[in-house]
Amino acid sequence: MKAIRTYIIAAAAAVAFTSNAQEAARSAYFLDGYSYRHMLNPALGNDNNYVSIPALGNVGLGMASNVGVNTFLYKTAPGSQYSLTTFMSPTVDAATFLNKLGERSRITADVNLTVLSAGFKAWKGYNTVTIGVRTDIGASLPKDLFRFMKLGQTGDDTRYSFKNLALRADAMAEIAFGHSRNILPGLEAGAKLKFLLGIGGVSAKIDRMDVRMSGEQWLVNAKGSVDIAAGSGLYLPTKQEAGVEYDNADQADLIEWGDMEYNNFGLSGFGMAIDLGATYDLPALPGLQLSAALTDIGFISYSHAVRGATSDVSWTFDGFSDVAFDKNQPGYQDNKLSEQIDNLWDDLEDVVNFHRTASDGSFSRMLGTTLRLGAEYKMPFYQKLTGAFLFSTRMAGVSSWTEGRFYANVKPTGWFDASVNYGAGTFGSSFGWMINFHPRGFNFFIGSDHQFFKVTPQFLPVGRASAQLNIGFNVTY
């Protein structure tokens, strides 16, 4: 059960607190002078050429989840020596905790650091070159898992069934080349080619875990798989190599996660992707521009991977026997209650641990593709004010999300524009904003897609863990 507890706590922490820096701020999608609109739609060029300040051109920090700190932490009763307790405390009402959860507790994070980027007019269009590092992260935990943790056995025959506990993460370097141009009156089209160098990837999934608890016994059955790639330096010793002996030879290849070592750096994969986009000024309705984009259509393929799976076996617990409560009893150290409980956890750990099936395998998967559909309309009473809507959906398994966002954008001069917007989707509702300065000479922007108003002393959002800040400085010419 140590493995179960570690998996749950780590995943729950990731769900609540993982950082999320998006590829570019969605709040700036309709701002003409924002240098990085091409990351959201490759057809969106720029009036000015630009060169980013290395590592400072586009920096984002944030997080996104459908749960937060106040989902898992609660104030203690007056007089307690501690100010907070977890949802597992008997003082926390089960219904209060469970009602805060959806059917799945989810996290998705797209961390993207632009190391160097440039945009310039040439070849009858606008061109971009970008070098960066990105990570795509997703985790999903079913509500029944937390119900099991909180309620445990509730009757003579209590059953739980968890499906698709999943964690996915990819880290890669990216080199991208983009080009956009006007191909028909009012129609702008763009494309971007990306080369991806895999730094590391993880895909872990518990396909099924069935738990049956009765007065006579507990029965647990689990099945899952894992793929890990982190370059040729990855070394995962077996429990046997770590000095733990087993009577059953089939258990000799159990992975000992705590002893994982990484001896040297090395790329672990390669991939490619394309972005496609277009904008169209509708002749029948002057002032209305429609836009569409598909980004990250591609794959990443890993080598030097460790592949593993859980055995489709059952574990039965018939209760504790010969429990020793008196220190003077013979065999007290082996039979005391705390020792038997530890042995119980160890047995459960063996049920859900992954067995190594290949030490130098390979695996491939598609990237998370994002679809964006936008519409922007210039107000007839004031052409420098626009109203807009952007629909975004990411198709990436456990990293999938959908959002709709309404905008009010003001563009009073040729060197300044700003946006306020409101979105709703998979991770709840959020207020966003962006201010963007882009005179000839520099482009400075700062804004947020997810604003928060109440934080803990550690500056973590108290409610849904959705917060984001995007800032950048670039030289324009």
Q: CATH no. for residue 270?
A: 2.40.160
Per the structure block, which two tokens stand in for 308?
């593993």
Coil, strand or helix: which one is 176?
Answer: strand
> Percentage of the chain surpassing pLDDT 70?
72
> Which range has the top average pLDDT, 216-230, 324-338, 449-463?
216-230
Q: In terms of pLDDT, which residue wins out, 43 or 247?
A: 43
The three-class DSSP label of residue 292 is strand
CB distance 236 to 228 below 8 Å: yes
Q: Give burial (CB, 10 Å; 0-12/13-18/19+) of 59.
A: middle
Is 327 within a domain? no
Q: Per-residue pLDDT averaged across 270-293, rounded? A: 96
Q: What is the pLDDT of residue 459?
A: 60
Does residue 434 belong to any structural domain of this protein? Answer: yes
Higher pLDDT, 84 or 339: 84
Assess whether pLDDT exceeds 60 at residue 134.
yes
Q: pLDDT class for 379, splitting at 50, 70, 90?
A: very high
Q: What is the mean pLDDT of residues 417-421?
A: 97
Query: What pLDDT was estimated at residue 334?
Result: 62
Between residues 306 and 363, the one the model is more confident about: 363
Does residue 300 carry a pLDDT above 90? Answer: yes
C-alpha closest to that of 32 among 48, 56, 15? 48
Q: Which residue has the higher pLDDT, 184 or 466?
A: 184
Mean pLDDT, residues 264-293:
91
Contacts of 301 (CB under 8 A, 6+ apart): 198, 269, 270, 271, 362, 363, 364
Closest C-alpha to 388, from 27, 20, 25, 10:
27
Estimate to the nearest angstrom the gap between the alpha carbon of 200 and the chain centroid. 15
Question: Is residue 82 domain-resident?
Answer: yes
112 vs 431: which has the higher pLDDT: 431
Is there a contact between 19 and 62 (Cβ–Cβ < 8 Å)?
A: yes
Report the amino acid identity of residue 171: A
pLDDT classification of 172: cutoffs 50, 70, 90:
very high
Cα 21 → chain centroid? 10
Give the pLDDT band (50/70/90) at residue 222. confident
User: Exposure pattern of 126-154 as b/e (b: 16+ CB <10 Å)?
Assistant: bbbebebbbbbbbbbbbebbbbbbbeeee
DSSP string covering 25-90 = -GGGTT-TT-TTGGGT-TT---SS-EEEPTTTSSEEEEE-BS-BHHHHEEEPPTT-S-SEEETTST
Contact 439, 15 (CB under 8 A): no
Mean pLDDT check: name the lowest of 13-17, 190-194, 231-235. 13-17
pLDDT band with cut points at 50, 70 and 90 for residue 301: very high
Looking at the predicted structure, is the pLDDT value of residue 362 above 90?
Answer: no
- Reduced to 3 states (helix: H, G, I; strand: E, B; else coil), residue 413 is coil
pLDDT of residue 184: 95
In a domain, 258, yes or no: no
How many Å apart are CA 127 and CA 124, to the nearest integer?
9
Residue 321 is predicted with a pLDDT of: 45
Mean local confidence (pLDDT), 426-440: 92
The residue type of 56 is: L
Mean pLDDT (whole number) for 203-224:
79
Residue 329 confidence class, pLDDT cut points 50, 70, 90: low
Beta strand residue intervals within 215-332, DSSP E: 218-229, 234-235, 261-262, 269-281, 288-309, 313-317
Quick one: average pLDDT of 80-90? Answer: 74
Q: Which of 2-6, 121-125, 266-270, 367-371 shows the lowest per-residue confidence on average (mean pLDDT)? A: 2-6
pLDDT (0 to 100) of residue 85? 79
pLDDT of residue 268: 84
Residue 326 lies in a domain: no
d(CA 51, CA 129) in angstroms, rounded, equals: 10
Residue 259: is it exposed, middle or buried by C-beta count within 10 angstroms (0-12/13-18/19+)?
middle
What is the mean predicted confidence (pLDDT) over 79-93?
Answer: 76
Residue 324, in any domain of the structure: no
CA 209 to each of CA 185, 251, 351, 443: distance values in angstroms, whole numbers, following the listed order: 58, 19, 10, 52
What's the total number of domains in the chain? 1
Task: Flag whether 448 is in a domain.
Answer: yes
| Strand 187-214 to 269-281 pairing | antiparallel
Is 434:25 a contact under the CB 8 Å cutoff? yes
Highest mean pLDDT among 68-77, 237-246, 255-264: 68-77
**Can you give the pLDDT at residue 403?**
96
Q: Which pair of tokens denotes residue 159?
A: 């059953």
Residue 179's pLDDT is what?
98
In single-letter form, the type of residue at position 222 comes to A
CB 101 within 8 A of CB 143: yes
Torsion, CA 30, CA 31, CA 35, CA 40, rounded to 10: -10
Category of 282 on φ-ψ map: left (φ > 0), alpha (ψ -120 to 50) or beta? beta
Q: Which amino acid is at 167?
A: L
Confidence of residue 259 (pLDDT cuts 50, 70, 90): very low
Identify whether the C-beta of residue 203 lies closer than 8 Å to the C-beta of residue 365. Answer: yes
Containing domain of residue 396, as a range? 2-231+266-310+353-476
pLDDT at 419 over 90: yes
Q: Is the pTM of this model over 0.85?
A: no
What pLDDT score does 13 carry?
41
**Residue 461's CB: how many other CB atoms inside 10 A?**
23
Average confidence score pLDDT of the chain: 79
Q: Which of 126-135, 177-186, 345-354 has the lowest mean pLDDT?
A: 345-354
Instruction: Evaluate whether 213 touches 153 at the Cβ level (below 8 Å).
Output: yes
pLDDT of residue 156: 80
pLDDT in tens, 28-73: 999 988 999 999 999 999 888 999 999 889 987 777 788 877 888 8
The answer to whether 470 and 446 have CB atoms below 8 angstroms apart is yes
**Angle (deg, nearest 10), helices 337-352 and 2-17:** 70
| Cβ within 8 Å of residue 242, ≥6 positions away | 256, 259
